[in-house]
Structure 1
Amino acid sequence: MPDVSPLVPEITDEDIEWVCHLMGLDTPDEPRRAFLTARNTLDVSACPGSGKTTLVVAKLAILARKWPHRTKGICVLSHTNVAREEIQRRLGSTVVGQRLLGYPHFIDTIHGFVNRFLALPWLSSNGYPSPTIDNDVTTAYRRGVLTTADYWTVQNFLSQKYSGFDRLRICARDLSFDLGGKAFPANPDAKSFKLAKQAIETAAQAGYFCYDEMFIWARSLLEDTPDVASWLRRRFPLVLLDEMQDTFELQGAMLHAVFPRESADIVVQRVGDPNQAIFDNAEADPDKSDPFPDPNPARKLSIPNSYRFGSKVAVLASPFATTPVGAIGLCGIGPKAIPGAPIACGHAIFVFPDNSTAGVLDAYGKHVLTMFTDGALTEGAVTAVGAVHQDASDVAPGHAHFPKSVPHYWSGYTAEICRKEPHPRSLVQYVRAAQAVVRDNRDLAPGVEKIASGLIRLVGHVGDAGQLKRRARTHRAIIDALATDAAALAAYRQLVKALLIDWMPLTQPNWGVVRDDILAISRALCDGAIIEANADGFLAWSADDPSLHLGAPASPSDAGPNVYRVADATRHVDIRLGSIHSVKGQTHLATMILSTYWHDHSSQRMLPWLLGAKVNVDGAGIRDQKRLLQTYVAMTRPSHLVCFAIPRSVFGDDQARADSVAKLQGRGWQVVEM
C-alpha cells in the first residue's frame, strides 16, 4: 500500500493557515497538524475535549477547496450527524461548506450509507416496496398482522423465555428470523413460530423493517453483485470514519467489506477514542474484526491533550483509561477562562450512609455554589450521572443493591427523556424531548430534527411516506416534500416556530389546537390517502410523565425535565441528572458520578483506581473494563469540577475508611462525610 494516495490533494502550511483564519482556530500543534496533512490510511486516537470534530471539519474544508475530482468524492461516516451539523454551523455560509454537503461527497451516518448505497437498491431490485425503516412502527405493523389473541400467544410464550415480540428480527435474506441474535425458542411446527413467521413475512412484503435488518439486504447486494464494493471505492477514494470506537460488529463487518483498509486504491482514516467505547445498546458487540486503533505504530496517531479541562482533572481521570493515553497519560491544557470560575477547583467525594441518599444532590449543589459565581454557572451545565438510570423502585433503602439507579438519588427522575437518542411513544413526547434538548444545549437544530422525526413516524402510522423514506435528513426531507404545497409548508414552519421559538405552553387545550395542523401536514407528506384513525394513539395527549413537563415546576426542587434545583440563601444551581451514556460527547462545568449497582456497586469496583492502587486495565475483568470506560467518559465531561458520590460501606471498617480518606486527600480529593 502506498504511503500517500495521489487521489487525495496535498495539504500545505498555507492551507492550514487559511482554514484557521476561516474557522477562527488556534495554530494546531504537531499531532493535529499531522492529522490535517495525512494522505494515507491512518487511525487517530483523540482524547476527550481535543477538538476532534472541529479538526475533522477543518480537514474537510481544506480538501473541499482543493478537491480536483468531479465524480469522485469524500465519504464521511459516523453514528450521528455531528460532523454534518458542525459543517453547517461552522461553514454553512461558505462555498467550501456547500461543496461538502453535495455531490460527489457523502456525509451521513453509517446506517444512512448502508441504506442508500446497498440495502435500498437491493430491496428495490427484488420487488419490495419503498420501505418504512423504524423499529417501533415495524413492530406495530407486525403486531397488526395478527389477531389480538394470536399476538398474545406469541408474546406470552416469548415473555416466558425472557424475551418479547418486539425482539423479533429478520436474520437472513430468506426472511428467517431470530430474537436479536438469539434463536427463536420453538420449532417450526409450533404455533408461536408459525404466527411469528406470518407477522415477519407479511410486514416484509409491505416494506416494514427494523434498522439493523437493513444490513441483511446490504449484505445480500454485496453477495449478488460483488462489484458494488469496487464501484463504491472508485466513487470514494477517501473515507473518513468518525467516532470509530462506537462501531459495533454488524457495522464493522459491513465497513470492512466495502472499504477494507488494506486496499491500495482508497485511503481510510478512522478517528475516535478507544477509551470512550460505551454502547447505548447493552447487547451490542464491539467490532473486533479490525481493532481500533491499529496496533501498527506506523498507522496510528495520538492526540492526548485536551482543551476541555486542566491538568488536575486529567491526572484524576487518566488512570481510568483502559488504553493508555499518549506516552505520559492524559494531558489537560484547558480549560478556557471563565470569570467567576477558579482554575483550581475543589474536586470532591461525598460519602453518604448506605441506606440513605438524602442530601447528596443538595451537598453537591452547595459545593458547586461555593466554587462558582452566578455568572460562571451560566457558562456550562452542572450534572450528576450514573451508569444505571432505569426505574429501580423494587430496591428500597437497606437493600444490598441500594442505591441501584439514578432515581434513588431523586425520585423525580425519569429515564426516557435523558436517553441520548430519546425514542418517545407519542408525538407530544417527541415535542417535549425537542424542547428539552433545545433548552439544555441552546441549539435549535437538534430540536427541529426531533420534531421532524416525530412527524415522519406519524406519517408511517397513517399512510405511505414513500417520498420521505430514502432521505437521510428529516427536517430537510420534510421541507423538500412540502415544496409544492405552500399551505402545508407554512403550517409546518409555524408549528416549529410555535413549539421551539415562541415556546407555546404544552397544555392539553393547546395540543388539541395544533393537532389539526399536524394531521394536515402529515396528509400532505403522504403519497395517497391516509387513515387518520391509525394516528389516534400516537397523537393522543399524554400527561402521565411529569418529569417531561416544561411548564411550572411541580416542586421547588423540580426545575424542568430531570433537573434538580438546589437553593442556598438567595442563590441556586440547577443539576441536570442523566445516564453516563446520555452525556457522552458533552462538555459540562461540573459533573458528579453517582454510585449505581450492576453486578456490584460501581464505586466498590472503581475504588482501587480512585486510590491509585490500579492504573488502566491492570487485570480488570470484562465488567470492570466496562465500568472503567463509563467512569472515564463521565470524569472527562467537566471543564472545571469533578465529584463522586460513594456509599460509606464501600470503604470498609472505620480504620480502612480513614486510610482510604487519607490516600484520596493525598491525591487531591476533598472528602465530605455526610
Structure 2
Amino acid sequence: MIQIPPLTEQLLAELGEELGGCDFTSEDQQRFLSATESCDVQAAPGNGKTTLLVAKLALLSRSWTSRKRGVCVISHTNAAREEIEKKLATHSLASAFLAYPHFIGTVTGFIDRFVALPYLRGLGWGVQRIDDDVFGAIGGSRWRSKPALVTYSEINKGINKRRLEEFVRKLELSEEFVCEAEIPPQRLKVSARAGQPSPQRPTGQALEELKAEITNDGFYRFGDMTALAQQAITRFPEIIQRVRARFPLVLLDEAQDTNGAQLALVNQLFAEGVAYQRLGDQNQTLYEDDDLTPDDYWRAAEDAIPLNKTRRFGTDIASFASRLTVRAPQIIEGVEDAPSRRSLILFDRNSIAGVLPAYAGEVRAYWGQDPGAHLDIRAVASRHNPAAAGRGDWPKTLIDYCPQYRSGRGRQSRPDTLCSVLRQAAILHASHGSPAEIADLMMSGLVILLRHHGVKDERGELATKRSISSILQRRDPKLQLKIRRLMRDRVVLGASAWNEDDWSQLRDELKSLLGMDALSDAARQYLEFVGHGATAAQGERASTVFIHEGMEIKLGSIHSVKGRTVDSILVVETEVWRGTSRDQQAMDLATVLPHAFGLENKDFSANAAQLAAATNVFVAVTRPRKVLCCAMRKIAASDELVAAARAQGWNIIDLTLL
C-alpha cells in the first residue's frame, strides 16, 4: 500500500525544486523519506522537519491511488497543522492530501472526530464547550452548592479549600465511568489525583455529582475526550481496526508534546498494522503535567533517525544551544559562516525598565538604525501572566519588564466572565488575529450571557450560537449591528476590558441594548469586572507589543514562539513556578546559564522546576536566525559567568553602570 519511488539524484533534485529549492541529499533525511515502516525521528530545532514531512507526502503523491484509505498527519498545535497545510497547498500533487480520505489536524481533533465525539453522541450527551479553563471556571463557581464540599473546604484552616479548588478545576472523567445512553448521569467517576477524597466518602461523591452536572450542561475538559475515546475502544475494539484500515500511514508531528493518556491512546490505536512514524525533539518538551511521570512522555527509540543539522542559525548559537539538550543530548550542527550577534544584558531593580530599550539597541547594532518592519523581533519569558506578589523571587513575569503587557489568558483570567472573554478578543486584535475569530469569540461570550439570563429562542430553548442572530433580530432588526459597533469601539479600539470605570460604562450600555433591567444572579456574576491583570489608569490599554523609536518588539511567553523561526529574540529572566516549596521554584536564566556557558555540568533531571527552566531556555534560544539576547539580574551573574560569556563572543551590556 505504501510505495515510495527510488530516491534517485534526479528525483531528489525535482523534489527540492518543487519545495522551493530545498536540499534532501542528507543520508538521514533520505532514511526518513524512504521509510515505509514504523520509526522515530529526533530532530534538532530548525532542521526543516516540517518541510521534510511535506516532502514525504510529495513523494507519496506520485503513487497514492486509493480513494478510501489515506495518510493521517497529526500534530499537537493548530500552528503546526496550519504550516503543513500551507506547504501542501502550494504543491500540485501533494495538495490532494488536504482532502478525503486523508486527515491533517491536531491530536485532539483526531481523537474527537474519529472516536470521542461519535461515542459521546451515542451516549446522548451534548457539547457546549471543550476547554480546560472554562470547565475550571464553571466548577469554581458551582462547588459551593454541594454541602459536603463546603464542609470539606472549611477544615484545616483554609488548606483544604485550596486543595478542593484544584481538584474541582481538574475534575476529569475516568475511562471507567459508568452511565446509560440517553439518561443524564447523576454521578460520574473521575480520575483519582493525589490527596483527592475517595468516592466512598461524601466529599468524593459530591465531586462526582458536580462532574455529572457540568457534563450534563455540555462542558468538558480536553482530557474528558481522551477518557471517552479510551472507553469507546475498550468497549468496541473494532473501532481500532477501522481506524487502522482507514490510515495505513500515520505521521505524528511534535511527538514530544503529546503525552499522558493522550499519547497512550494514540500509541494503542497505531501500535501495529500501520506504519506509525513519530517526529519530534525531546529537548522541546514544554507541555508538562505535574501528575505525569517521565514514562508518560514520548522518548525517541534508540534507533531513532537523527536530524542534527539546523538551517536556522549559525555555529555560534548551535554550540550554545547544544549545551542545553539536557533531555536527549544532541550536538546541533549550525550553518557555516552564518554571522550572529549574542548579548547578555545585566540589570537590577532600578534599571529593569531599560532592558527592552537596550535590546532594541542590540537589534540596531546588527541591522542598522532602521532595521525594517519586515523583521520578526521578539522578547519572551518563561512566565508572562500576572503573578501573586510576596512569594518567590523577582522578577516574576514579563510584566515586570513591561507593565503594560497582558496576554489576556492564563489561569487567573476567569473565563467565566464576559470581561475575560473580551480581553482575549482585544489581545487577538492587537496580535493581528483574524476578524472572524475575534467576532466568533465575542459572540460566544454574548451567547453565554444570554443563557445565564435565561433568554430563549422561538422554540423555548436557551440561546445558542445558531439561534442568537434570530433572538437579537426579534428584539431589534439592527441590534446585532449595534452590539458589534459597541464591541468595536469599546473593546477592540477602546480600553473597556482593562479598566473598571470603562467596563462599567460598557456593561450599562450592553444591558440597555439587551433590555436586561433585572439581572439574574448568574448574569450579574458573568458581567463582573476582573480586577486581576487589569491596567491601572482609565483609558489605558494592555499591549502585546513594545515600541521603541518606531521598532516593534512582540512580547509573549516562550510557549508562544515554539515552532517559529524569528529574526531576533530576547529571553528575559523570570521565575519558573512548580509549587510553594523552594525546591519547586527556579529563576530560569540564573539556573541555566552557568551550565550553558560551560561553568558547570548540571543534572537538571533531578528537579522539575530546573528541568523546566532548561527546556524553556533551550526552546527560546533556538528560535532566532541572527540576534540572541538574554537579560538576567546582575546579582545572579558571577564574574566567572560574565568572563565566560565574553570569551565565547557575547557582548555584555551592564545597565547598572549607566
Same fold? TM cut 0.5 = yes
Tell me if 1:185 matches 2:180. Answer: no
Deviations 1:363-399 (A, max 9, x none): 2233333332355342333333222334346249xxx
Cα distance in structure 1, aligned partners of 2:595 and 2:282: 18
Q: SS of the residue aligned with 1:45? A: strand
- 1:637 equivalent among 623, 638, 649: 623
Q: Offset at 1:259?
A: 0.8
Alignment of 1:395-434 (within 5 A): 395=390, 401-414=393-406, 416-417=407-408, 424=415, 426=417, 429-430=420-421, 433=424
- Judged with a 3 Å threshold, the aligned counterparts in structure 2 of structure 1 residues 588 and 421 are, in CA distance, closer, same or farther, namely farther
Note if contact 2:133-2:415 (Cα within 8 Å) is conserved in structure 1. Answer: no
Match of 2:24 in 1: 28
Map of 1:283 onto structure 2 = 290
Partner of 2:544: 562
CA 463–92 in structure 1, closer or farther in 2 if over 3 Å, else same: farther
Residue of structure 1 in register with 2:580 after alignment: none
Q: Which residue of 1 aligns with 2:332?
A: 329
Which of 12, 35, 39 is equivalent to 1:38?
Answer: 35
SS at match of 2:99: coil
Map of 1:55-134 to 2, 5 A cutoff? Answer: 55-64=52-61, 66-92=63-89, 96=93, 99-129=96-126, 132-134=129-131
Q: How does 1:76-475 map to 2 (within 5 A)?
A: 76-92=73-89, 96=93, 99-129=96-126, 132-139=129-136, 150=147, 160-161=159-160, 162-163=162-163, 164=165, 165-171=168-174, 172-174=176-178, 176-177=188-189, 181-185=193-197, 188-190=200-202, 192-260=203-271, 263=272, 265-279=273-287, 281-283=288-290, 285=292, 288=295, 291-296=298-303, 300-323=304-327, 328-332=331-335, 343-345=339-341, 347-353=342-348, 357-373=352-368, 375-392=370-387, 394-395=389-390, 401-414=393-406, 416-417=407-408, 424=415, 426=417, 429-430=420-421, 433=424, 436-437=427-428, 440=431, 448-449=436-437, 451-452=439-440, 455-456=443-444, 459=447
Once the two structures are superposed, what CA deviation does each residue of 1:200-223 show, in whole Å capped at 9, x if it has no partner?
223334543221112221111121
AA aligned to 2:440 is A
Contact 2:137 / 2:416 at 8 angstroms: preserved in 1? no
Residue 583 of structure 1 is matched in structure 2 by: 561
CA contact (8 A) 1:420 1:583 kept: no
Corresponding residue SS for 1:66: coil
1:602 lines up with 2:588 in the alignment: yes
Q: SS at 1:320's partner residue?
A: coil
Instruction: Encode CA deviations 1:313-347: one digit per residue, 9 max, x unaligned.
Output: 11222211125665x43423586xxxxxxx342x1
Q: Contact between 1:418 and 1:579, CA under 8 Å: does it hold in 2?
A: no
What are the Cα deviations for residues 586-615 of structure 1, in whole angstroms up to 9, with x where unaligned? Answer: 233222222223434333322332331346
Q: Percent identity?
A: 25
Q: Residues of 2 paired with 1:117 and 1:418: CA distance?
A: 30
How many angstroms does 1:276 deviate by?
A: 0.7
Q: CA deviation at 1:438?
A: 6.1
In structure 2, the residue corresponding to 1:275 is in which secondary structure?
A: helix
Alpha carbons of structure 1 residues 403 and 221: separation in structure 2 relative to 1, 3 Å: same
| Distance in structure 2 (CA, Å) of the matches to 1:181 and 1:22 | 51
Change (3 A) 1:140 1:639: closer
Q: Which residue type is aligned with residue 575 of structure 2?
A: Y
The residue identity in structure 2 corresponding to 1:160 is I
Q: Distance between the aligned counterparts of 1:428 and 1:94, measured in 2?
A: 43
CA 1:137–1:597: 2 relative to 1, 3 Å = closer
SS for the counterpart of 2:405 is coil
Task: Please give the root-mean-square deviation of Cα atoms over the aligned residues, in Å.
Answer: 4.7
**Change in 2 beyond 3 A, CA 1:332/1:277:** farther
Q: Quick check: 2:344–2:629 contact (8 Å CA) kept in 1?
A: yes
Q: CA deviation at 1:639?
A: 1.4
State the partner residue of 1:528: none
Could you say what secondary structure the match of 2:52 adopts?
A: helix
Whether the 8 Å contact between 1:320 and 1:616 is mirrored in structure 2 is no
- The separation in 2 between residues aligned to 1:179 and 1:354, in whole angstroms, is 44
Q: Would the aligned equivalents of 1:413 and 1:562 in 2 still touch at CA under 8 Å?
A: yes
- Displacement of 1:69 in angstroms is 1.4
SS in 2 for 1:417: coil
Conservation of the 8 A alpha-carbon contact between 1:167 and 1:179: no
Distance 1:351 1:87 in 2: 39
Tell me the secondary structure at the aligned position of residue 380 of structure 2: strand
**Distance 1:233-1:495 versus aligned 2 partners, 3 A rule:** farther
Q: In the superposition, relative to structure 1, how do residues 58 and 499 fare at CA in structure 2: closer, same or farther (>3 Å)?
A: farther
Number of positions where the alignment pairs a residue of Structure 1 with one of Structure 2: 607
Deviations 1:499-540 (CA, angstroms, capped at 9, x unpaired): 99xx96246699789979x99xxxxxxxxxxx9997776678
Q: Structure 2 unaligned runs (5+)?
A: 179-186, 453-463, 497-501, 577-584
CA positional deviation for 1:255: 1.1
The Cα of 1:238 is off from its aligned counterpart by 0.3
Work out which of the residue numbers 612, 626, 637 in structure 1 matches 2:612: 626
One-letter code aligned to 1:671: I
Q: Secondary structure at the match of 1:49?
A: coil
Whether the 8 Å CA contact 1:323–1:617 is kept in 2: the answer is no
Within 1, Cα distance between the matches of 2:487 and 2:3?
45
Deviates more, 1:73-82 or 1:95-104: 95-104
Consecutive unaligned residues in structure 1, runs of 5 or more: 1-5, 336-342, 465-476, 520-530, 555-559
CA distance in 1, matches of 2:322, 2:87: 31
Letter in 2 for 1:629: T
Taking the TM superposition and a 5 Å limit, the aligned residue runs for 1:478-493 are none
Structure 2: distance between partners of 1:593 and 1:80: 23
Distance in 1 between the 2:85 and 2:105 partners? 13
2-structure distance, mates of 1:67, 1:420: 46
Q: 1:243 to 1:532 in 2, by over 3 A?
A: farther
Cα offsets for 1:248-284 (capped at 9, x unmatched): 1111111111111xx2x210111111111111x5526
Secondary structure in 1 matching 2:312: coil
In 2, the alpha carbon distance for the partners of 1:71 and 1:334 equals 49
Match of 2:653 in 1: 672
Question: What is the CA-CA distance between 1:578 and the residue it aligns to?
Answer: 2.8
